[in-house]
Amino acid sequence: MDKPQIQKALEELKKNPKRNFSQSYEVIFNLKNLVIKQTPIDFFVTLHFSKGKKAKIAAFVDNQLADQAAKFCDLTIRETDFPKYVADKKLTKKLAEDYDYFLAQSNLMPKVAAAFGKILGTKGKMPNPKIGCVVPPNAALEPLIKKLNMSVHLVAKKGLNLQCLIGKESQPEEEVIDNILTLYQTAVKQLPSEAQNVKNVMLKTTMSKPVRI
């Protein structure tokens, strides 16, 4: 994949009817020669530019990180709040649906796993050390929050496809192109046979049909 191929796909999408809002761009990887049950795909990519949507982030913390969490995260869940979620599974399910990332203070992880693991785990939302979401009590949260807002999570556990937001129509085209290239170059390295596992890559806007890059 190269810049001219992406530019051609973007030009194709511009032919669609204009909407009265700035649509998001989404990239779809269609994969091949993989047995997902044997080789589940699950990784994060940190982009150079905004993906066009702010991540919603919740934090499981105690007193040491509570002030930072209140300042930088969208929701702070203290250890004293855990019982109400244990008692109400609907509340925990709504939590999993409403938030993109969860981070946790490392010394609370056993309690987080016990209280939230069953529901957050099935949604792939447990605090993930691969993206730095399990933090020490003396962590600086602001850099992590900035990283999460520039990151996308790609998961294939059943179907042979990966899909994520990559930018918005209102962004400079160069930023969108850079994000797509960064995503592709990182993603292929996560596949067992790299580019040989990619059937094709498609690009779409919120309201359009996909076009091939």
CATH of the domain at 177: 3.30.190.20
Amino acid at 61: V
Residues 169 and 23: beta-carbon distance below 8 Å: yes
CATH of the domain at 68: 3.40.50.790
Instruction: Tally the domains of the chain.
Output: 2
Query: To the nearest 5 percent, what fractions of the chain are helix, strand and coil?
Result: 45, 25, 30
Task: Render pLDDT for 1-44 as a digit per residue (tens, 0 to 9).
Answer: 899 999 999 999 999 988 999 999 999 999 999 888 888 898 99
Task: Render pLDDT for 148-169 as a digit per residue (tens, 0 to 9).
Answer: 999 999 988 778 999 999 999 9
Instruction: Tell whether 86 and 169 lie within a shared domain.
Output: no
Task: Render pLDDT for 89-146 as a digit per residue (tens, 0 to 9).
Answer: 999 999 999 999 999 999 999 999 999 999 999 888 999 999 999 999 999 999 999 9
Nearest to 201 by CA among 153, 158, 166: 166
Among 149, 176, 192, where does a domain finish? 149
pLDDT (0 to 100) of residue 179:
97
The parent domain of residue 113 ranges over 57-149
